[in-house]
A and B are shown apart, each in its own frame.
Chain A
Amino acid sequence: MFVELIKGMGTTLKHLFEEPVTVQYPEQRKPDKARFKGKHELKRYDNGLEKCIGCALCAAACPADAIFVQGAENSDEQRFSPGERYASVYEINMLRCIFCGYCEDACPTEAIVLESDYELSFYDRESAIYTKGMLLIPPPEGKPDTPMQVEPNSFDWSIPEMKDPS
């Protein structure tokens, strides 16, 4: 019986000198995994234009029906994105979202990306709905925010040339 007791205490002792696995969140944070899927971000092109063209394919792909998109028309005076269409309303209900990443797969312009932010907590259901302003990343440094005035007919193509996925 004593043998077992000592064996057990030995195990305890051994662990006393091991490095702890607990991370002191939020003071300490673990590095993000490359394929982690956290809060969505709506990306921009280098010139500050939004990549999202409001096509709502993300909403169509969403198995949880968490995304609401409403399109509107761009003009060269008020340009949000290349091409004719932009998202005037873009909402994701984070309570519904299951972070499957289908929206990212469906996006024809690589506008929506599930990034590493996982700090999603809310006091009420309404604040779980992330609007376009909360999802859209700020424009690159030195670039204007949207809507911007651009040279006529310089951005009449919605879909960028994409890399071959294969």
Chain B
Amino acid sequence: MADLVTLKIDDQEVSVPAGTLIVDAAKAIQNDIPVFCYHPKMDPVGMCRMCLVEVGTPRKDRETGEVIAEADGSPKIFYFPKLVTACTQPVSPGMAVKTNTKVVDDARKEVLEFLLTSHPLDCPICDKGGECPLQNLTMRHGPGNSRFLADEKKHLAKHVPLGDLIYLDRERCIQCARCVRFQEELVDDAVIGFKQRGRALQIVTLSEPGFDSKWSGNTTDICPVGALTTADFRFGARPWELQHSSSLCTECAVGCNTHLNTRRDGLSGDFVVKRVMPRQNEFVNEVWICDKGRFSHHFSTSPDRITVPMIRKNGKLQESSWDEALNLVADRVKDAQGSVSVIAGEVLANEDMRVLQQLANNAGGEAVAWPGVMGGAEQLAAVGAGVGTNFIDMGAGTAIVVIASDLDEEAPMWWMRVKQAADKMGATLDKSKATLIVANGRKTKLDRYANHSIRYAYGDEVNTMLALHHAANGDGAGLAADLAASDDETIKAAGQAISDAENVIVIYGREGLDYAGSSSLAQAAANMLIDGGNYGKPNNGLLGVLPKGNTGGAFALGIPAMADRAAAEVVGDAKVVIVAGADPVGDNDALPSGRFTVVSELFMTATAEMADVVLPAQSFVEREGSFTNSERRVQRFFPALPAKGQARPDWWAFGKIANAAGAMDKAPVAAGQIMQMLSKTAGAFSGIDYPALARVEEQWPDVGGEDKYYGGNAFKNTAGLGVQYATSAEQGVVPSKGDVAPLNSETGSLRAVATTLMYNRGTKIMKAQLLHPRLPEAHVEINANDAEKLGIADGDKVRVSVGDASAVVAANVNGKAPEGAVLVPQSLGTDVTFNGLKAATVVKA
């Protein structure tokens, strides 16, 4: 904790850490100094001049060195001759600030009058109207009249698409540069910028396609006027007409807190999600969300949703009642006499998984988590990142190791937060950087900020980790034979940085790794953390970049993973197969035929097409429940929309089935009841019930509420910060190192590496028409040398074959892939679905 500085703001004393800016110090005592350009997450620039205040300091007598005092003995305050911008001026001891004098008030009036000289005042049609800082501050501080002539206002283009997702209204821009600074400082995508100067200053996009950033939506949140608005919400509703519910993003395992704004659609009469906004959680997503989370909500109201239960009769799926469907399934489960297999998707809520697990176990079968491609559950439970871990707190003395993951694509919010911890050109000037070590088979976006960039050949992930361990602690040797890599200078330096660091966080992924591979990598990383004593405390331990929204829930409940097995193998000879929230058939992992197959789904997936009974499931938007994120944080989501047709939550349907089949004493009647039951039993969720998950505490910076101008339009978190459950190390179990199994990957002159893209072509994201231009076509990345050998040029169509599957896709020869590796992004709508590293052939098509 930095030293505290005491100052007086409007005669109210406040103590804040040295280096705090006046505007933040005032905010801490609820004195709202108006701002436009300042944002607490970014460096101050003092561009808008709205935060002008009177500032004075005590002065020392030059001769005596004594503080000059008033007659009553108190230090005499010498006010600066001119007003000072509160957003650029750090506090100093004894400082006095006046924020409510006539001079300050006049200055605010004049700044607003100038800003409005060219602001169109088309608030009635502006999407920002109603939650607009300029509108609010004009109402509060502005002059009633303008001395400028209205017809001298500039008229500029009002509908400028900066990209596919963001529109710019040039007239409304007040040139605060929040958006430009956000893109440069916080996400390092300098794809928008200023052109011209003075009154002619304009925002332009510098990229092709326009505004090519995964974070563009956030600029609309922090824009203090309606200059930047999203194409999604354009004229969707006025902000005050919206209904609010707290929710979570399920697109990746970060678990960003979101706020869903819903309203009845006047044309269809249905309630729809109008927009997704970030909900503040300084442990998870601060006040941001990525564009996938913001714009991919359209699946919830898609007309393709399954809305009625269906039973296969005479070879065709026909609508039925819930009673009929449930009774049929329950009878079949009973008749199967223990021969039941459950495949539970890692997108289901904790409550659904728990019910499915109980149904499977008590009916004599097993529930398996799908896709179940990520190992390391054990290690994460033992030495996972300690409770209270927060990337914001990671500064000097912390080493962050990211291995086998492209965070930018797999967990964008982690990318941003790790970047912030390592690259302190952004806000929080008082901290030095954390040490960032990035190890991957190729260069990723995170390498820009890495102190140590380690390049290994795909297949050497575990060896690299072992080598790092050796370099860091010396005694990592003996765990694996191949430590030749530890002679590498980069690894030595990285190892030194790890051993020097007080706190060590290892983030491991699964790029080029199958289940067994990621398990080995997790073990190797865990061993290093255990040797270094970096576990069981905040900002220390292991984090996995989990593949799905609630893989963490499957880990917490101890549901075994598919673990590189084919679905047919997992199902075995089970007579009844229950699949919920999973589509193995769609991923070319066929289910055996001739079984009684029950599928609970949102859409008619390939698996649902072949099912005997299809149950309409509710999406997380329509129901309540909880998810567990990659950091073991259990968080609640709340219903935002009414149920779609007859859709019901999975826990409800399978609870009824379990009850009727004798696998559960009582069918649960509420999601909270299942969590309550879990909270009373030993395990990850012990002591975690809904009230605990709904607890909130004061968060800094203060966003939401009335003052939309301070932290942007992110919503205040009123629905719960969630609970991070403790690792076994924190509960007193001394972790022990384990054996690291060597990687057993396929060999070949050309090997395919399964990679993950944020913008893929999954079932849910494809329902968002708006995002289609942003979604890449199916492609692979090939190294230039390999391409030359194969006679392939950039952009050529090639046939890629991995195992039995093959597809014709575009080949990108742009330096992304290392030699000998073909990067095959998954979920782009081709049949080439695999995990890890496989022998591949590529021929020109």
Contacts and interface: CB of A to CB of B under 8 A. Distances in A.
B168 to A, nearest CB: 13
B266 A53 contact: no
A62 to B, nearest CB: 11
* B121, B122, B267, most chain A CB atoms within 10 A: B122
Contact of A85 (B121, B235, B240, B241): B235
A153 B316 CA distance: 55
Nearest to B122: A158
Interface string A41-82: 000000000000111110110000000111111000000000
Interface in A68-105: 68-73, 83-85, 88-89, 91
B146 to A, nearest CB: 14
Interface in B252-271: 264-267
Contacts of B267: 70, 88-89
A68 B266 contact: yes
A55 B124 contact: yes
B275 to A, nearest CB: 14
A109 to B, nearest CB: 8
Nearest to A107: B124
Contacts of B234: 73
Given A55-B125, A88-B266, A91-B266, A156 B240 contact: no
A60 B238 contact: yes
Contacts of A69: 266
A14 to B, nearest CB: 59
B195 interface: no
A60 to B, nearest CB: 6
A9 interface: no
A129 to B, nearest CB: 11
A159 B235 contact: no
Interface in B518-577: none
Contacts of B121: 159
B158 interface: yes
Contact of A71 (B122, B125, B264): B125
A83 B121 CA distance: 13
Nearest to B267: A89
A69 to B, nearest CB: 8
Contacts of A71: 125, 235-237
Interface in B426-451: none
Chain B interface helix/strand/loop/mixed: loop
Given A54-B235, A71-B235, A159-B122, A84 B241 contact: no
B266 A70 contact: yes
A159 B121 CA distance: 9
Contacts of B124: 53, 55, 57, 108-109, 158-159
B122 A89 contact: no
B283 to A, nearest CB: 36
Contacts of A85: 125, 235
A84 B121 CA distance: 14
A86 to B, nearest CB: 9
A56 B266 CA distance: 13
B159 interface: yes
Interface in B90-128: 121-122, 124-125
Interface in B123-146: 124-125, 129
A76 B241 CA distance: 28
Given A84-B158, A156-B158, A159-B121, A55 B266 contact: no
Size range of the chain B interface in the assembly: 10 to 19
A67 to B, nearest CB: 11
A73 B236 CA distance: 9
B652 to A, nearest CB: 33
B672 to A, nearest CB: 32
A145 to B, nearest CB: 20
Contacts of B155: 156-157
Given A68-B266, A71-B125, A89-B266, A55 B238 contact: yes
A55 B123 CA distance: 9
Contacts of A57: 124
A60 B235 contact: no
* A57, A59, A71, A91, most chain B CB atoms within 10 A: A71
A39 B124 CA distance: 24
Contacts of A59: 238, 241
B226 to A, nearest CB: 11
B238 A56 contact: yes
A67 B697 CA distance: 38
Contacts of A159: 121-122, 124-125
B159 A84 contact: yes
Contacts of A88: 266-267
Interface in B210-245: 234-238, 240-241
A109 B125 CA distance: 11
A88 B237 CA distance: 11
* A70, A88, A89, A159, most chain B CB atoms within 10 A: A70
A49 to B, nearest CB: 14
B389 to A, nearest CB: 44
Nearest to A131: B266
Contacts of A89: 266-267
Nearest to A83: B125
Nearest to A75: B159
Contacts of B129: 55
Given A55-B124, A158-B122, A72 B235 contact: yes
Nearest to A70: B266
A109 B124 CA distance: 10
A56 B241 contact: yes
A60 B240 contact: yes
* A69, A83, A85, A109, most chain B CB atoms within 10 A: A85
Contacts of A156: 155, 158
A71 B125 CA distance: 9
A65 B238 CA distance: 14
Contacts of B122: 83, 157-159
Contacts of A73: 234-235
A159 B126 CA distance: 12
Contacts of A70: 237, 265-267
A54 B266 contact: no
A107 B238 CA distance: 15
* B235, B237, B267, most chain A CB atoms within 10 A: B235
Contacts of A55: 124-125, 129, 238
* A54, A59, A84, most chain B CB atoms within 10 A: A84
A158 B125 contact: yes
A47 B465 CA distance: 74
Contacts of A158: 122, 124-125
B164 to A, nearest CB: 15
Interface string B705-736: 00000000000000000000000000000000
A128 to B, nearest CB: 16
B732 to A, nearest CB: 58
B125 A53 contact: yes
B670 to A, nearest CB: 31
Interface in B325-353: none
B71 to A, nearest CB: 52
Contacts of B241: 56, 59-60
B125 A54 contact: yes
A60 B241 CA distance: 8
A83 B158 CA distance: 9
Contacts of B125: 53-55, 71, 83-85, 158-159
A71 B126 CA distance: 11
Interface of A: 53-57, 59-60, 68-73, 83-85, 88-89, 91, 108-109, 156-159
9 contacts: A56-B237, A60-B240, A69-B266, A73-B234, A88-B267, A89-B267, A158-B122, A158-B125, A159-B125
Given A53-B124, A55-B129, A73-B234, 5 more contacts: A59-B241, A85-B235, A91-B266, A157-B122, A159-B125
